[in-house]
Amino acid sequence: MANHSSSLSLYLHIPFCRQRCSYCDFNTYTSVSDLRDAYTNALSQEIRYLSTERNLFAHTVFLGGGTPSLIPAEGIRELLKAVREVFNLSNDNEISMEINPESVDKIYLQKIRDLGVNRLSIGVQSSLSTELQLLGREHDFDAAMKAAESSREVGFENINLDLIFGLPGQKLANWRTSLQDILELDPDHLSLYCLTIEPGTPMQRWLNAGTIQSPDPDLAAEQFLYACELLAEMGYEHYEISNWARPGKQCEHNLSYWRNHEYLGFGAGAHGHAAGFRYSTVKQPRVYIRRLGEKLTRQEYPFTPATIDVQKLSKREAMSDTMITELRLLQEGLDINSFEDKFGVSPQDAYPGIIEQLINWELLRINRQRLLLTERGWFLSNQVFYRFM
């Protein structure tokens, strides 16, 4: 495995969707399609803003959203051109793009493949039409199957499928059907997320109005357990709480987040973590475009004219970040010696009593100088992380 610890990961945010899904609270907008070209230009400009920095190395690029596949292939070309002008991309680079099934055809997929995109993440969410309607998805399962098949036909060898479980009214049998249907598409990687009903979403309004029932957390745990068992049988490695991969197909970009390595975020509402800072950019696409269009004043690396929120990490915050991100990796966990080298104190001394208690409660374990969540801890990970905040 290549060591990319000193190389960056790049996240490019595309904040456009054709319609908003009922559970979504991401930074995405549905009525600004006239801004797409101007936004692509502004995003390229923001990337090029770092062109005065020397020797920037990157090994992953992730086009996320929103719906990146709403940007025409010509726009994707522009963005990747800007990336390649500014960053030295490693030979084994991973360039991922999120796509929604209804927004792509084979010609588009062929074009982005030719541009160097080598990993796709397809938002499938369910194979059942009633669930897709509840989620407010634009596509049906036929469209998802077609997108996955076309992706293979044009040469994609690394495909992730996203699914959601823990839906209101979702029976275990429905979840089994969805998961089995999706496995027939032979994904290299699966991301299975438990639904959280976020404030301000249509789903929360339906819940408040009594139109839908609150999901049952015990049933969601059963669904998760079923997925763990089935995917293990099928040869997928459960390497992060919500992620499974065929051998060698882990998402390198997300691994960088979970290994707490540095990444740069570009685009409206993107987040970054570099040079001892966490930062984010202005959220509204129009304001973002305006800022990049103004006469650019010099900012210190890693900031750009779109940066609005900067937090210098204290040692305490950096330790907390390390605990919370690295424990998400179920097989790797947190390397106790590296933690000590970095912070001059062991995790046990940094969190006196807490780690011992979590081990006694069988939520954490230590194996070969690595601190890991136990299987019980996978289900209760939020309660574990809360103790390190």
* Residues at the contact surface with ligand SF4, assessed by CB under 6 A: 17, 20-21, 24, 26, 28, 65-67, 100, 123
- Smallest separation (angstroms) from ligand SF4 to the CB of 181: 20
- Give φ, ψ of 136 to 5 degrees: 75, 25
CA neighbor of 169 nearest in space, from 207, 123, 121, 216: 216
C-alpha distances out from residue 113 to 93, 106, 110, 191, Å: 14, 10, 5, 22
- The residue (of 178 and 260) whose beta carbon lies closer to ligand SF4 is 178
C-alpha distances out from residue 268 to 68, 83, 219, 304, 320, Å: 13, 17, 37, 12, 26
Residues 262/274, Cβ–Cβ less than 8 Å: yes
Q: Is 53 exposed, middle or buried (0-12, 13-18, 19+ CB in 10 A)?
A: exposed
- The residue (of 28 and 250) whose beta carbon lies closer to ligand SF4 is 28
- The residue (of 270 and 329) whose beta carbon lies closer to ligand SF4 is 270
Q: Which residues of 275-308 are buried (b: 16+ CB within 10 A; e: fewer)?
A: eebbbbbbbebeebbebbeeeeeeeeebbbbbbe
Q: By 3-state DSSP, what share of the chain in percent is helix, strand and coil, each rounded to 5? A: 40, 20, 35
- Smallest separation (angstroms) from ligand SF4 to the CB of 267: 13
- Smallest separation (angstroms) from ligand SF4 to the CB of 99: 10
- Smallest separation (angstroms) from ligand SF4 to the CB of 41: 22
- Smallest separation (angstroms) from ligand SF4 to the CB of 67: 5
- The residue (of 86 and 147) whose beta carbon lies closer to ligand SF4 is 147
Amino acid at 216: D
- Smallest separation (angstroms) from ligand SF4 to the CB of 125: 8
